């Protein structure tokens, strides 16, 4: 019988670290903290359907314990794993208003900042659809012995050292990049390990899936309306009409398009003048991953990774996916902006 060597995420990360003999090991340890929190959140997500019989948010369950919302719990799990680990100097979370500074007497010079959306797509929890955690890691700019500043945190996406996501779907996967391609690991719950299942992921240059909340069509910029119309036209040569797929959980939509080829768009609208998705917690990490996989991510007119954040919770319009599809969407979007039809 032919057997294949199993490579766990922990082994993979440790092997990567040996390529950098001067590495302090802080980044590896941050990954270990993220993996631990991911396993705990995975366990909680798998129990989510039982909340109704064990108690609902704001009540006590049959063991008399307070029941917390899953997104609150996920934030607490990641915050506590990273702060107890003490290998980053600050944590930025979609769930926290401000920078959370980490002080570790045993590591006086941690240099990494972690930004995260602990449980993205949380409106999908109650209906048993895929949700996920997104993270981004970058290096502070100021000297390590000073207090982390807002300037340390508000960095462009091109400065990311690593980014990834965990999707709690029909299986649980962790997908990440450190700037040398993208690798995906599936959690084997029988051994409690993420195992390399999707090495060197590349997104097809073209795709036939478009993911956009068409309920907002009337509010889309004209160029996005034109692109959606283009996706729905019949054209044998380009394989149109394309398939519409939108679950309303960025990670699930992104993950499918990454593996199969496609585009995800959340444009600006009159109601959401900067789009809905957050630059630091959602768009930057996804943009880093997609570029490493050979795809593209823009605001419709600018590369996401080059946007300078002005606020921690800043939102940006987001076009992400297969290169040729993003180019097409961007061309139609820009054409209408140029003639003053931005809406
Ligand atoms: P959340 O961070 O509050 O979960 O919101 C982000 C989610 C994304 O996962 C998803 O792509 C988007 O909101 C869906 O928004 P909409 O329901 O407006 O289409
Ligand atoms: Mg989110």
Query: Which amino acid residue places its CA nearest to atom 4 of ligand 1?
Result: 121
Q: Is residue 312 one of the residues assigned to a domain?
A: yes
Atom of ligand 1 nearest to the CA of 264: 11
Tens digit of pLDDT for each residue in 117-164?
999 988 888 788 899 999 999 999 998 778 999 999 999 999 999 999
Q: Is 13 in the same domain as 147? A: yes
Q: Is residue 203 one of the residues assigned to a domain?
A: no
Q: How far is the CA of 250 from the centre of ligand 1 (A)?
A: 6
Atom of ligand 1 nearest to the CA of 117: 2
Residue 188 Rama label (left phi>0; alpha psi -120 to 50; beta): beta
The SS3 call for residue 116 is: strand
* CATH code of the domain containing 271: 3.40.190.80
The chain-wide mean pLDDT, for the chain, equals 92
The SS3 call for residue 168 is: strand
* CATH code of the domain containing 85: 3.30.540.10
Q: Is 27 in the same domain as 137? A: yes
CA distance 161 to 258: 20
Q: To test the ligand 1 pocket, which listed residue (117, 266, 275, 315) has its Cβ within 8 A of the most ligand atoms?
A: 266
Q: Is residue 122 one of the residues assigned to a domain?
A: yes
Tens digit of pLDDT for each residue in 59-86?
655 555 555 688 889 999 999 999 999 9
Cα separation of the two ends of the chain: 61
Tens digit of pLDDT for each residue in 262-291?
999 999 998 899 999 999 999 999 999 999
Q: Is residue 86 one of the residues assigned to a domain?
A: yes
Q: Is residue 181 one of the residues assigned to a domain?
A: yes
Q: Are 132 and 285 in contact (CB under 8 A)?
A: no
């Amino acid at each position: 019988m032919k057997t294949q060597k199993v490579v766990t995420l922990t082994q993979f990360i440790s092997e990567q670290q040996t390529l950098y003999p001067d590495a302090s090991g802080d980044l590896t340890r941050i990954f270990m903290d993220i993996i631990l929190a991911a396993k705990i959140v995975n366990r909680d997500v798998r129990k989510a359907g039982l909340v109704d019989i064990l108690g609902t948010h704001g009540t006590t369950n049959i063991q008399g314990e307070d029941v917390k919302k899953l997104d609150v719990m996920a934030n607490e799990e990641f915050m506590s794993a990273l702060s107890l680990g003490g290998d980053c100097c600050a944590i930025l979370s979609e769930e926290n208003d401000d920078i959370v500074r980490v002080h570790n007497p045993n590591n006086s010079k941690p240099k990494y900042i972690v930004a995260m959306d602990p449980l993205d797509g949380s409106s999908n929890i109650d209906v048993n659809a895929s949700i996920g955690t997104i993270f981004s890691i970058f290096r502070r700019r100021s000297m390590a012995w000073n207090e982390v500043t807002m300037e340390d945190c508000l960095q462009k996406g091109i400065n990311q050292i690593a980014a990834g996501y965990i999707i709690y779907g029909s299986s649980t996967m962790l997908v990440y990049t450190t700037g040398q391609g993208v690798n995906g690991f599936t959690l084997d719950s029988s051994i409690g390990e993420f195992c390399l299942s999707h090495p060197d992921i590349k997104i097809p240059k073209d795709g036939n899936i478009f993911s956009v909340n068409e309920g907002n069509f009337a509010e889309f910029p004209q160029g996005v309306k034109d692109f959606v119309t283009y996706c729905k036209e019949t054209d044998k040569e380009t394989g149109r009409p394309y398939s519409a797929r939108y679950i309303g959980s960025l990670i699930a939509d992104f993950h499918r398009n990454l593996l199969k080829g496609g585009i995800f768009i959340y444009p600006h609208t009159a109601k959401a003048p900067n789009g809905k998705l957050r630059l630091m917690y959602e768009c930057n990490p996804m943009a880093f991953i997609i570029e490493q996989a050979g795809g593209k991510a823009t605001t419709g007119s600018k590369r996401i990774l080059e946007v300078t954040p002005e606020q921690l919770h800043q939102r940006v319009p987001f076009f992400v996916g297969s290169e040729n599809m993003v180019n097409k969407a961007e061309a139609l979007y820009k054409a209408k902006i140029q003639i003053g039809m931005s809406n």
